[in-house]
Structure formats: structure tokens, C-alpha cells
Amino acid sequence: MELVLFESVLFGELRPWAYAHHGKTQTQSSSAFPTSTLGSLLEEYPRLQNELADGGWEPEEEAVAVAPYIKVKMDEPFDRCSLWHQKVITLESRRLLDSVVQRIKLLEDVVDQRYEVNTAIRDAIGLLKDCSKMINKHDDKLTQYVLELMSRHIMMLILDLSHRYADLGAIEQYDEAALYTAILNRAAPEQSPFLRTPAYRRFQLSSLLRGDSLEKGYRRLRRLILEDLQTRENEDKQAWSDILFHLENAVFLQSMKAPFIDEMPEKLLDEEYCREWVMGIRLDFMKEQDIQSAAALFNDFSKAERRYQDSLGMIELDHKEFMYRQSEAVQLLTAIKQIREQAFGNLNVVSSGKRAEDGGGESKRSDFVQSFRERFVTLDEFEEVLPASSRSVKRYLEESDIRVLAISSNIKFLYREDVETYFEERTMED
């Protein structure tokens, strides 16, 4: 890994202490920095070079092909020199990550890939050790800031590569605590200076989805994503919610044992494919004309709900306070939960066998719940209409042709068309 620019910060023209002791102030101009010599080092960043040459101080970051897994947290720069170093170090760390990833993509042999990753990690470790030595030698504010910033970006590279290529096997693994204690020879800060990015959460999700069974790791990942959604106040929440929805939809499809998983398991990694499949299953129920097929599909939903809860926990809208919508899977499972708990209200089955209108409450129900209620009647509602005891109702059902959809031993629904026929026949007899 070519570390020319970082090495220049430690040993060359970019040494921060070279400027810290020359009495420069926050009003110094950009000409105070060695932009001419840096021209060859900054070829990757033409816009940054232009900014430096023109005296500007807020260049846009260069676009890179690889989304980093880790983001560095650091105090804001306090003068022009610290700002300049911040821009250069941040962009260089992203360029280094991108260059390593792109080189590894070109290698076909796993042994060569391992060698490339481990070499990059070892180079970064060596530079981190040099950085630690320099931090202990220079105590001025600028040097401490610049070297701490560079140390964090070097650690970011090490942690990113360790996670990104762990599946290659035999990759040197480091965690944050080990880097601080073993390499920097100091305790790790109480609050981590690193944040996991949406790209890292996607990497975690992909790793779980590639497994052969429902992993308990799903629940932990969902909790982490919800924490990200709550705590990243200044970041776009759309990326986090997209990952959460993908997780919930994919786990639901695994719980439903969707047939495509055996034939094309890689499709679970496709966020849009999973979303469309869940929407399609929901629509299949709503469009199904054969009531027995609809009942069988609803039973499948109920079984999937239990498997889903085993993987992700109870279906609670625990993110409704900071998200304006829910995933397709959660919407569907919430409707199933409402139906199972008979929480959608009285169907008002009258003695003629017809359902009375429900007024304003009707619009509050989802289209899925409405579709269900148009086909099924709860046992409680059936009992309300008959002037008989529960034991007598049970006998009526045994003696009649009313079909029963049993969700569990104590939650049962009756086919609406059978109930209507039953009441019509009773009316004619009366």
C-alpha cells in the first residue's frame, strides 16, 4: 500500500510541527503550505489541488468507488492549517481504501487476495506505530490534532479491511481495543471515535443472509440499525431505513419458506426483489377467490409470524416514533397480529346473514384486514348473534356445514359465506 502522503505528514513537508513553531495564525494564507511539491502527491484530487492553488478551503470530497464501512469522528479543525490537514488526510484514507479494494478485485486467486489484504494491514500497522512515536515527541496543539486524526484514519483502514475480507480466512484481525492498547500503547477512549456506516450494516446483513438457517444475529443487527436510526441525527435516515426494511422483508420470506430461496438464494440479497415478493404474497391473499386457498395462505402467514418472532423478536412498532413508515413485512405481520387478536372490531353479522356498515372505523383498517374480514367471521361474533350458550354454539357448528379456520386451539374464524348461508336457512325455517 503506497503511503507516500501519510509518510510526508510524519517525515516530510507535511509535518504539522514544521508549521506550529513558525508563529502562523488562523489568518495565514494557503500559500503557506507546500502546494507545489504536493502536486505529484495529490494527483488523485484535482479539485483539491485547485482549491489549494486558489486559496480556497472547502473543497468537495472526491468521489470514490468503495463505500467505507467505518466513519471517523473527530473535533472540528481550529485553524486553516488543521483544516488543510484534515481535508488531505480524510481524502487520502478514502483513496487508499479504494485502491486496495480495487486491486483485490483484480485478483482471482484467494491466496493472492489474502496476501494483498495482509500486506496492506501490516503497512498500516507500521505507520500507526510511527504515528504513535511522533505523538509522544510533539505536544503542540496542531501536531496533536493532526497526528490523532491520522491515527484514527489509519485505524479505520485496518478495521475496515479486517471486516471486509474476514471471509477470505487467515486475515490478520484487529479490534478497536487492541489497536489502542497493543499499537498505540494507550487506553481506548470511553466513547469510540468510530461510527459504523450503512455500508457496514449492509455487509453484516449480507453475511447473515448467506447463512443456511435463521440466525440469532438477525435480532442483534436489527437492534443496532434501530440505534443508528435514533442516534444519527444529522445523517440521512433513508439509508438506514432501507437496510432495516430489507432485513425485515428477507427474514419474513425465510419464515414463509419462499420457494425462490432454494432455487435462487442469492435473490435474498436483492432488496427490491424481497420487497416485491412480500407485496406479491400480500396481494395473492387479497386477490384469491377460492376461500380455502385463502385460508391455507393465511395459515402460512401465521406460521411465518412465529418463525419471524424467533429471529427478530416480537412484532412491535418500536421505531414508529422516529420513522414515518414500516417495512412491507412489518405492515403485513401487524395486520395478521390484529386479525389473530381479533382487534379489528365487531363484524356486525346480522340475522339475515349480511354485514352491517361499520361507519368511520372502516377506513382505519388496512386493506389486508378488510380483505380478511370480508371472508371470515370471528367465533365470538357468531356467538353474539345466536341466543345460545357456548356449548350450544359448538353443537351448532358440529351439526352445520360451516367451515372453520383454526389459527390456534382458542382462536378460530368461520367462513363468512357459510355463516351467511346458515342464517339464511334459519330465517327461512322461521
Res. 258 pLDDT band, cuts 50 70 90: very high
Q: Cα 276–203–113 angle (5° rounding)?
A: 130
Q: Is the pLDDT of residue 35 over 50?
A: no
Confidence at residue 349, expressed as pLDDT on a 0 to 100 scale? 39
Res. 144 pLDDT band, cuts 50 70 90: very high
Scanning the structure block, which residue is given the C-alpha cell 393465511?
298
Q: Is the pLDDT of residue 416 over 70?
A: yes
**Model-level pTM?**
0.77
Q: Note the pLDDT tens digit of each residue in 180-212.
A: 998 888 888 889 999 999 999 999 999 899 875
Scanning the structure block, which residue is given the C-alpha cell 484481525?
173
Average pLDDT over residues 327-332: 91
Q: Is the pLDDT of residue 22 over 90?
A: no
Res. 27 pLDDT band, cuts 50 70 90: very low
Per-residue exposure over 41-74, b if at least 16 CB sit within 10 Å of its own CB, e if not: bbebbeebbebbeeeeeebeeeebebbbbbbbee
Mean pLDDT across the chain, nearest whole number? 79
Q: Where are the domains of the chain?
A: 4-196, 200-325, 359-429
Q: Is the pLDDT of residue 386 over 80?
A: no
Confidence at residue 193, expressed as pLDDT on a 0 to 100 scale? 93
Q: Are 344 and 362 in contact (CB under 8 A)?
A: no
Q: Is the pLDDT of residue 134 over 70?
A: yes
Which region among 99-103, 356-360, 371-375, 407-411 has the lowest average model confidence (pLDDT)?
Answer: 356-360
Q: Is the pLDDT of residue 126 over 90?
A: yes
Q: Is the pLDDT of residue 162 over 60?
A: yes
Res. 234 pLDDT band, cuts 50 70 90: low
Q: Rounded CA gap, 99 and 105, in Å? A: 10
Q: Is the pLDDT of residue 26 over 60?
A: no
Q: How many residues does the chain have?
A: 430
The rounded Cα 212 to chain-centroid distance in angstroms is: 20
Measured CA distances, 189 to 66, 72, 75, 194, 391 (Å): 28, 13, 14, 11, 68
Q: Are 117 and 168 in contact (CB under 8 A)?
A: yes
Confidence at residue 336, expressed as pLDDT on a 0 to 100 scale? 85
Confidence at residue 20, expressed as pLDDT on a 0 to 100 scale? 59
Q: Note the pLDDT tens digit of each residue in 54-105.
A: 544 343 444 457 899 999 999 998 887 888 888 889 888 988 999 999 999 9
Q: Are 181 and 187 in contact (CB under 8 A)?
A: yes
Q: Note the pLDDT tens digit of each residue in 267-292.
A: 999 999 999 999 999 988 888 878 78
Nearest C-alpha neighbor of 95 from the set 127, 48, 135: 48
Res. 21 pLDDT band, cuts 50 70 90: low
Res. 5 pLDDT band, cuts 50 70 90: confident
Scanning the structure block, which residue is given the C-alpha cell 325455517?
429
Residue 201 backbone phi and psi in degrees, to 5: -65, -35
